Amino acid sequence: MFFKVATTDVKYDTAESVRSLVANLAELSQRLTALDLSNNTYHPDAFASIAEQIKKMRNLKTASFESTMSCLDFEEMSSLCSMITNSLPNGLIALNLSSNALSCNFPNALTDFISRSNLVELNLYNCGLGREGIERVLRALEGLSDKTRLEKLNIGKNRMNSATNELGEIIGQFENLTLFKMAHNTVYEGLDSFLNGLVSLSLIELDISDNFVEEETALLEILGHGSLRLIHLRDIKTDHMDVILQKMVDTGSKIEHLDVSQNDLETEESMNQLVELAKHNQIRELHIYDNYFETDFRETYRKIKNLILRKGGRFIETDPAIMADEEEQRLAVLISRI
């Protein structure tokens, strides 16, 4: 049974403010398998009674606390993070703590939980962890006795900035990992060495967007496995995109979702490689916006688009974030006219 809190952007400050929520959780606690308390802020005084109910949820398998701590000061965040992780059952398989200002100084309660958990999925996107915080998380994962369970890991948008082979090799120990995301970390040093630690994995989805791919050796080896179905290479600041695309062509890539947006693809070779991928491979969704080549390669661009659309695929040539903003503005105008 799934429970999602009905409110959004509400700050719960006191035990009284969560009284009805606690009553609902108490009634459902023995039946709940999924809990989502995201997108509200809970002061520790308010969350204490919620934590007591979570402790009773022996069948809980997935829990989401996205954006529940971002408006708290450091001491409050530390207290709430500890309450959350201390209340969760060891049988939990999916934990989402994304968009919380955890910083690298998050409480040991989090790493203690991770190191004794049975998690299949862990999402720590946009938590301000920095390189030090990410290393703490990876060391906790390394402490797991069973490294066959973890399948999905997202450590994106944490200002990692640099990486090492040693950290990559920790991730490489999780032989059943199929999804790994580290987008928007602006890793400018050591990315190839880090990815080299992952080459033994049979990843299905990889996201290294908004990092510096100055060397492509490890990425080419990962592509060579042929296991990837979704790969996000948006804004990877590389001079080697031709080489990367050619590897996909040569290996008969089975990639279904390819994002090469914001890479300034300016060569005829890159365009022809995309034609080959669209023609002979299984691409169902191609993100290609902000590459500024429509004028120079108008016909080739149109050919790629037609090949994708002819297969019933999606050809994304406008930034989805811009599209979402435009749609929000359009709806606001319509509502104002009512």
Domain-wise residue ranges, the chain: 1-68+81-93, 69-80+94-336
pLDDT at 134 > cutoff 80? yes
Number of residues in the chain: 338
pLDDT value of position 333:
46
pLDDT of 18 over the 80 cut:
yes
User: Of the candidates 232, 178, 227, which has an alpha carbon nearest to the alpha carbon of residue 208?
Assistant: 232
The residues, any chain, with a CB within 8 Å of residue 146's CB and separated by 6 or more, are 118
Q: What is the pLDDT of residues 214-267, one digit of tens each?
A: 999 999 999 999 999 999 999 999 999 999 999 999 998 899 999 999 998 878
Give the per-residue pLDDT at 332: 46
Please tell me the distance from the alpha carbon of residue 257 to that of residue 260, in angstroms, as a whole number.
Answer: 10
Measuring CA to CA, which residue among 110, 115, 104, 98 is closest to residue 150?
Answer: 115
146-179 pLDDT tens trace: 999 999 999 999 999 999 999 999 999 999 999 9
Q: Is 251 exposed, middle or buried (0-12, 13-18, 19+ CB in 10 A)?
A: middle
Radius of gyration of the chain (CA): 22
* Cα separation, 269 vs 55, whole angstroms: 58
Q: Is the pLDDT of residue 324 over 70?
A: no
What percent of the chain is modeled with pLDDT above 90? 87
Q: For residue 289, what pLDDT band results from cuts at 50, 70 and 90? A: very high
Contact (Cβ atoms closer than 8 angstroms) between residue 118 and residue 146: yes
Q: Which CATH architecture fits 69-80+94-336?
A: Alpha-Beta Horseshoe (3.80)
Task: Report the alpha-carbon distance of residue 91 to residue 56 in Å, rounded.
Answer: 13
Predicted local distance difference test score (pLDDT) of residue 326: 47
Amino acid 257: pLDDT? 98
Beta-bridge partner residues of 232:
207, 259
Cβ atoms of 231 and 203 closer than 8 Å: no
> Is residue 303 over pLDDT 90?
yes
Q: Which helix (H) or strand (E) holds 121?
A: strand 121-123
Kindly tell me the burial class for residue 316, based on how many C-beta atoms sit within 10 Å of its own C-beta (0-12, 13-18, 19 or more): middle
CA atoms lying within 13 Å on the CB side of residue 109: 14
Task: Decide if 237 contacts 262 (C-beta within 8 A).
Answer: no
Cα distances from 63 to residues 25, 33, 40, 326, in angstroms, run 13, 9, 14, 32
Matching fold, domains 1-68+81-93 and 69-80+94-336: no
More reliable by pLDDT, 328 or 136: 136
Q: So what's the pLDDT on residue 205?
A: 99
So what's the pLDDT on residue 325? 52
54-85 pLDDT, tens per residue?
999 999 999 999 999 989 999 999 999 999 99
In this predicted structure, what is the pLDDT of residue 267?
85
Beta strands at 285-287 and 314-316: parallel, antiparallel or unpaired: parallel
174: three-class secondary structure by DSSP = coil
φ and ψ at residue 92, rounded to 5 degrees: -60, 135
Instruction: Write the DSSP string, 184-238.
Output: T----BSHHHHHHTTTTS--SEEE--SS--S--HHHHHHHHT---SEEE-TT---
Q: Which residue has the tokens 């908004």?
A: 210
SS3 assignment for 17-35: HHHHHHHHHHHHCCCCCEE
CATH architecture of 1-68+81-93: 2-Layer Sandwich (3.30)
Question: Has residue 286 got a pLDDT over 90?
Answer: yes
Model pLDDT, residue 323: 54
